[in-house]
Amino acid sequence: MSLSTPVQAPSGRQIYFHKAVKRFLDALPAQASVKSSEYFKILLEVGLNQKFTQLRHIQGDLWELRVDAKNVKFMRYLFVARKGVFYMTNAFKKQTNDTPRREIDLALRRATE
């Protein structure tokens, strides 16, 4: 998997970003990028805590982080969580109620690269 340098929290948790997620973040308007960064920091602080309502378990070790900014709604980040390390595998703008199967398959494929 083409990963970035990890972002690490004092808790010891880390986030790695796939290059496609980095491109998605770079293409966002500033406000949406800032909002996404805020949620990544919360994820690093609290982990997979059920009180973090922006998280949704998909299957196995695959999770979805929901981010809505004022100017960009329905951003979704799929990631794999393994031993306090989060691998952001893909990001997209959601357009339906269900997470598209192709996005789940892409996330799982990238997680095994």
For residue range 26-76, list pLDDT tens digits in order: 999 999 999 999 999 999 999 998 789 999 999 999 999 999 888 777 899
Q: pLDDT value at position 73?
A: 79
The domains of the chain, with CATH numbers, are 7-111 (3.30.2310.20)
Q: Report the SS3 class of residue 17.
A: strand
Q: pLDDT value at position 55?
A: 95
**Chain-wide mean pLDDT for the chain?**
89
Distances (CA, A) of 41 to 8, 44, 98, 108: 9, 5, 25, 23
Average pLDDT over residues 85-103: 91
Burial class (CB in 10 A: 0-12, 13-18, 19+), 95: exposed
Q: pLDDT value at position 98?
A: 86
How many whole angstroms from its chain centre is CA 74? 13
The dihedral through the CA atoms of 90, 91, 95, 96 has a sign that is positive
* Residue 17 to residue 88: CA distance in whole angstroms: 5
Q: Kindly report whether the global pTM for this prediction surpasses the value 0.85.
A: yes
